[in-house]
Chain A
Amino acid sequence: MVKAHYPESLNEALTIKAEKKDQSLLVMGGSDVMVVHKTAPDVIYLNSIAGLKYVEQTEEYLRIGAGCTYAELIDDELVPGILRDTMREIASPAIRNVGTVVGNICNASPAGDTLPVLYAMDAVVVAAGMDDNGKKIERRIPIDKFILGVRKIDLRENEIVSAVEIPRSSYEGMTKLSHTKVGARKAEAIAKLSFAGICKVENGKIADIRIAFGSVGITVLRQRDIEEMIAGTPVSELEGKKADILARYAEVLHPISDQRSTEGYRKKVCLNLLEDFLNNICE
Chain B
Amino acid sequence: MKDISVPVEKKDHRMKMSGRAEYTADMKLPGMLYSSFVRSEVPHALIKDIKLPELPDGYFSVSGSDIPNNHCACITDEQPVFADKEVMFVGEAILLICGPDEKTVKKLCAETEVIYEELPAVVSLDEATEVALGYEYHKGDTETAFNNADKVISETFRTGYQEQAYIETQSAVGVWDKDKGKAILYGSMQCPYYVHSALMHSFELDESHVRVVQEVTGGGFGGKEDFPSLLGCQAVAAARKSGHPVRIILNRREDMSVTTKRHPAILKYDAALDKEGHITGLRADIRMDSGAYPGLTSVVMQRTLLAALGVYKIDNLDVKGRAMTTNLVNNGAYRGFGAPQAFFAIETLMNHIADKLGVSPLSYRQMHFVKQGDETGTGGKFWHHVPIPEMIEKAEEMSDYSRKYAEYARPQSGRYRKGIGMSIFFHGCGFTGSAEKDFIKSKLTLHKYADDRVEILASNTDMGQGLKTTFSKIAAKVLDIPYEQIIIENPDTDRVPNSGPTVASRSLMIDGKLIERAAERLKAIWEPGKEQEIMEQYKEDRECVPWDIEKFHGDAYPTFSWGLNVVELQEDTLTGNTDLLGVWGVYDVGHVIDERIMEGQAQGGILQGIGYGSMEHMEAFKGRIRQNSFTDYMIPTAMDTVNNGIAFIDNLYKDGPFGAKGAGELTLVGAAPAYEAAVEQASGRHFMEIPLTPERILLAE
Question: Chain A residues in contact with chain B, CB under 8 A?
Answer: 180, 182, 184-190, 259-262, 264-265, 267-269, 272-273, 276
State the CA gap A106–B574 with chains docked (Å).
Answer: 31
CB closest residue in chain B, given A280:
B415
Question: Chain B residues in contact with chain A, CB under 8 A?
Answer: 415, 573-577, 615, 617, 621, 626-627, 631-632, 634, 636-640, 693-695, 698, 700-701
Complex contacts, A184 vs chain B, CB 8 Å: 615, 617, 634, 693-694
State the CA gap A96–B700 with chains docked (Å).
Answer: 32
Contact A265 B695 (CB under 8 A): yes
Contact A186 B639 (CB under 8 A): yes
State the CA gap A261–B698 with chains docked (Å).
Answer: 12
Given contacts A185-B615, A187-B639, A259-B632, contact A265 B574 (CB under 8 A): no
B698 CB to nearest A CB, Å = 6
Given contacts A185-B640, A264-B701, contact A272 B695 (CB under 8 A): no
A271 CB to nearest B CB, Å = 10
Contact B574 A276 (CB under 8 A): yes
16 A-B residue pairs with Cβ-Cβ distance under 8 Å, sorted by A, are A180-B575, A182-B694, A184-B693, A186-B640, A187-B637, A189-B634, A262-B695, A262-B700, A264-B700, A265-B701, A267-B700, A269-B574, A269-B694, A269-B698, A272-B575, A273-B574
Quick one: which of B575, B621, B632, B701 contacts A269, CB cutoff 8 A? B575
Contact A259 B639 (CB under 8 A): no
Total inter-chain residue pairs, C-beta < 8 Å: 60
B194 CB to nearest A CB, Å = 33
B642 CB to nearest A CB, Å = 11
Complex contacts, A273 vs chain B, CB 8 Å: 574-575
Given contacts A182-B575, A265-B700, A269-B698, contact A260 B637 (CB under 8 A): no
Given contacts A182-B575, A261-B695, A273-B574, contact A268 B632 (CB under 8 A): no
State the CA gap A57–B253 with chains docked (Å).
Answer: 45
CB closest residue in chain B, given A193:
B575
CB closest residue in chain B, given A260:
B632
Complex contacts, B621 vs chain A, CB 8 Å: 259
State the CA gap A272–B634 with chains docked (Å).
Answer: 24
State the CA gap A269–B695 with chains docked (Å).
Answer: 9
State the CA gap A269–B573 with chains docked (Å).
Answer: 10
Of the candidates B638, B693, B700, the one having the most CB atoms from chain A within 10 angstroms of its own CB is B700
Complex contacts, A190 vs chain B, CB 8 Å: 631-632
State the CA gap A261–B697 with chains docked (Å).
Answer: 13
CB closest residue in chain A, given B695:
A265
Contact A265 B640 (CB under 8 A): no
Given contacts A262-B700, A264-B695, A276-B574, contact A186 B626 (CB under 8 A): no
Known: A185-B637, A187-B637, A190-B631. 10 other contacts (CB 8 A): A184-B693, A184-B694, A185-B634, A185-B640, A186-B637, A186-B639, A187-B639, A188-B637, A262-B695, A265-B576
Quick one: which of A185, A260, A268, A276 contacts B698, CB cutoff 8 A? A268
A260 CB to nearest B CB, Å = 6
Contact A259 B576 (CB under 8 A): no
State the CA gap A186–B640 with chains docked (Å).
Answer: 6
A223 CB to nearest B CB, Å = 21
Complex contacts, B698 vs chain A, CB 8 Å: 265, 268-269
Complex contacts, A264 vs chain B, CB 8 Å: 695, 700-701
Contact B694 A265 (CB under 8 A): yes
CB closest residue in chain B, given A258:
B626
Contact A185 B574 (CB under 8 A): no
CB closest residue in chain B, given A271:
B574
State the CA gap A185–B639 with chains docked (Å).
Answer: 8
A86 CB to nearest B CB, Å = 16
Task: Across the A-B interface, give the 3 residue pairs with the lowest CB-CB distance, nearest first.
Answer: A186-B639, A264-B700, A265-B700
Complex contacts, A180 vs chain B, CB 8 Å: 575
State the CA gap A188–B615 with chains docked (Å).
Answer: 13
State the CA gap A180–B627 with chains docked (Å).
Answer: 24
Contact B626 A259 (CB under 8 A): yes
State the CA gap A186–B578 with chains docked (Å).
Answer: 10
State the CA gap A26–B219 with chains docked (Å).
Answer: 38
CB closest residue in chain A, given B696:
A265
State the CA gap A190–B693 with chains docked (Å).
Answer: 15
Contact B639 A182 (CB under 8 A): no
Given contacts A185-B640, A187-B639, contact A262 B574 (CB under 8 A): no
State the CA gap A244–B639 with chains docked (Å).
Answer: 38
Complex contacts, B638 vs chain A, CB 8 Å: 187
B608 CB to nearest A CB, Å = 14
B160 CB to nearest A CB, Å = 13
State the CA gap A273–B576 with chains docked (Å).
Answer: 12
Complex contacts, A187 vs chain B, CB 8 Å: 637-640
State the CA gap A74–B621 with chains docked (Å).
Answer: 39
B315 CB to nearest A CB, Å = 43
State the CA gap A261–B619 with chains docked (Å).
Answer: 12
Quick one: which of A182, A259, A260, A268 contacts B577, CB cutoff 8 A? A182
State the CA gap A262–B576 with chains docked (Å).
Answer: 13
Of the candidates A180, A184, A190, A264, the one having the most CB atoms from chain B within 10 angstroms of its own CB is A184
Complex contacts, A268 vs chain B, CB 8 Å: 698, 700
B613 CB to nearest A CB, Å = 14
Complex contacts, A189 vs chain B, CB 8 Å: 634
CB closest residue in chain A, given B639:
A186
State the CA gap A129–B652 with chains docked (Å).
Answer: 77
Quick one: which of A185, A260, A262 contacts B701, CB cutoff 8 A? A262
Complex contacts, B415 vs chain A, CB 8 Å: 276
State the CA gap A262–B697 with chains docked (Å).
Answer: 13
Complex contacts, B640 vs chain A, CB 8 Å: 185-187
State the CA gap A238–B574 with chains docked (Å).
Answer: 20
Contact A272 B632 (CB under 8 A): no
Complex contacts, B636 vs chain A, CB 8 Å: 185
B670 CB to nearest A CB, Å = 22
B633 CB to nearest A CB, Å = 9
State the CA gap A187–B638 with chains docked (Å).
Answer: 8
State the CA gap A224–B591 with chains docked (Å).
Answer: 67
Complex contacts, A262 vs chain B, CB 8 Å: 695, 700-701
B26 CB to nearest A CB, Å = 22
Contact B576 A269 (CB under 8 A): yes
CB closest residue in chain A, given B573:
A272
Of the candidates A182, A187, A259, the one having the most CB atoms from chain B within 10 angstroms of its own CB is A259
B329 CB to nearest A CB, Å = 16
Of the candidates A180, A182, A185, A187, the one having the most CB atoms from chain B within 10 angstroms of its own CB is A185
Given contacts A185-B637, A190-B631, contact A272 B574 (CB under 8 A): yes
CB closest residue in chain B, given A264:
B700
CB closest residue in chain B, given A92:
B637
A82 CB to nearest B CB, Å = 18
A57 CB to nearest B CB, Å = 33
Complex contacts, B574 vs chain A, CB 8 Å: 269, 272-273, 276
Complex contacts, A188 vs chain B, CB 8 Å: 637
A280 CB to nearest B CB, Å = 10
CB closest residue in chain A, given B629:
A259
CB closest residue in chain A, given B701:
A262
A6 CB to nearest B CB, Å = 24
State the CA gap A189–B635 with chains docked (Å).
Answer: 10
Complex contacts, B700 vs chain A, CB 8 Å: 262, 264-265, 267-269
CB closest residue in chain B, given A274:
B574
CB closest residue in chain B, given A189:
B634
CB closest residue in chain A, given B626:
A259
Complex contacts, A259 vs chain B, CB 8 Å: 621, 626-627, 632
A64 CB to nearest B CB, Å = 27
A107 CB to nearest B CB, Å = 14
Complex contacts, B615 vs chain A, CB 8 Å: 184-185
State the CA gap A185–B616 with chains docked (Å).
Answer: 10
Complex contacts, A260 vs chain B, CB 8 Å: 632
State the CA gap A259–B574 with chains docked (Å).
Answer: 21
State the CA gap A262–B619 with chains docked (Å).
Answer: 13
B611 CB to nearest A CB, Å = 9
Complex contacts, B695 vs chain A, CB 8 Å: 261-262, 264-265
State the CA gap A32–B406 with chains docked (Å).
Answer: 49
State the CA gap A272–B577 with chains docked (Å).
Answer: 13
CB closest residue in chain A, given B627:
A259
